[in-house]
Copies of this chain bind each other. A is one copy, B any other.
Amino acid sequence: MNPSRQHIQIAVDAVVFGYRSASGLSVLLIRRRFAPHAGAWALPGGFVRDHESLEEAVSRELEEETGVNIRYLEQLYTFGDADRDPRGRVVSVTYFALVKPENLRIFADSDAEETAWFDIQKLPELAFDHPRILKTAIERIRNKISYEPIGFELLEEKFPFADLHTLYETLRGAPIDRRNFKKKMMSLQILEESGERRKQAGSGRPAALYQFNKEKYFQLKEKGIVFEV
C-alpha cells in the first residue's frame, strides 16, 4: 500500500498524577479554549511535530499548557479508533506522569483557558475519549504500586512515614495495617531516616522524616523487585 494516501494525525495526551496527603490523588486537567469541546475539561496534550519524538512532544505540551515539571514519564497506551476525534482521524499516544508536590504549581496558557488539579474521586466531565484514557491510567497506577515503589515519585523529598502509608491506602482503596506496612517497607531497605522531624503539623507527636535511598531502589529494581503490600 502507498502510505502517502494516509490522512491520520498523531497526538500525545498525558495523565499527570499528583498527590498530597491532605487532598488525595489528583489529576491535572485543562479547560479547552478552542473547538472541539471548547470549555470542556480535557487531558493536556496536542499534536506531535514532525521532528520531535513522542516523549519530546508530551514534555513540550505539558510545559506549554501547564508549566509542570515532570520527573517521571512512561507510555500508557495508544488509542486509535477511527471516530475518537471529531476533527478527523487522530491516533493518540498517551503518557502517564507523576509529579512531586513541590512541582504542583501550574498555570494556564493560550490553548488552555484554565488548569486545575482534580481529586480522582471528583472528576468533571471530560472531552473526547478522555474518560477512557483516565480509567486506563488509574488502573495502571493501581497496579504499578503493587510491584514498584512509585511513592518515590509522588512524595516530597523528605516525608513522614504516614504520608507513604496514606498514599498506599488511597491507591489500594483499602486500609493497610500500619505496623505491617512499615515492617515490609523497612525490610526492603529503600528508605532511610533523614534525622529531621516534621515541624509543621497541628498537634500530636512530631514525625520522623524519611527519604528514599535511590541507589538501593534501583539495585532492587534490577534484580526484579517483588513487592506486594
Interfacial residues of chain A within 1-55, with CB under 8 A of chain B in the complex: 1, 3, 5-11, 46-54
Q: Within 8 Å of chain B (Cβ to Cβ): is A112?
A: no
Q: Within 8 Å of chain B (Cβ to Cβ): is A80?
A: yes
Q: How far is the CA of A47 from the CA of B5 in the complex (A)?
A: 10
Q: Within 8 Å of chain B (Cβ to Cβ): is A93?
A: yes
CB pair A53–B82 under 8 Å, yes or no, is: yes
Q: Which of B46, B54, B90 contacts A91 (CB 8 A)?
A: B54
CB pair B7–A8 under 8 Å, yes or no, is: no
CB pair A8–B53 under 8 Å, yes or no, is: no
Query: Shortest CB–CB separation between residue A15 and chain B, in angstroms?
Result: 15
Q: Within 8 Å of chain B (Cβ to Cβ): is A75?
A: yes
Q: How far is the CA of A87 from the CA of B89 in the complex (A)?
A: 22
A contacts with B: majority SS: loop
CB pair A10–B6 under 8 Å, yes or no, is: yes
B residues near A46, Cβ cutoff 8 Å: 1
B residues near A169, Cβ cutoff 8 Å: none
Query: Shortest CB–CB separation between residue A222 and chain B, in angstroms?
Result: 14
Interfacial residues of chain A within 64-98, with CB under 8 A of chain B in the complex: 75, 77-78, 80-82, 87, 89-91, 93
Interfacial residues of chain A within 187-229, with CB under 8 A of chain B in the complex: 226, 228
B residues near A87, Cβ cutoff 8 Å: 3
Give me 24 A-to-B residue pairs in the complex whose CB atoms sit less than 8 angstroms apart, sorted by A's number: A1-B49, A3-B9, A3-B11, A3-B47, A3-B87, A5-B50, A6-B9, A6-B47, A8-B10, A8-B48, A10-B10, A48-B80, A48-B91, A50-B89, A51-B82, A51-B89, A52-B82, A53-B80, A53-B81, A53-B82, A54-B80, A75-B77, A91-B91, A91-B93
List 13 extra interface pairs beyond A7-B50, A51-B89, CB under 8 A: A3-B9, A3-B11, A3-B47, A3-B87, A6-B10, A6-B48, A8-B9, A8-B50, A10-B91, A51-B82, A52-B82, A53-B82, A54-B78
Binding site for B on A (CB under 8 A): 1, 3, 5-11, 46-54, 75, 77-78, 80-82, 87, 89-91, 93, 226, 228
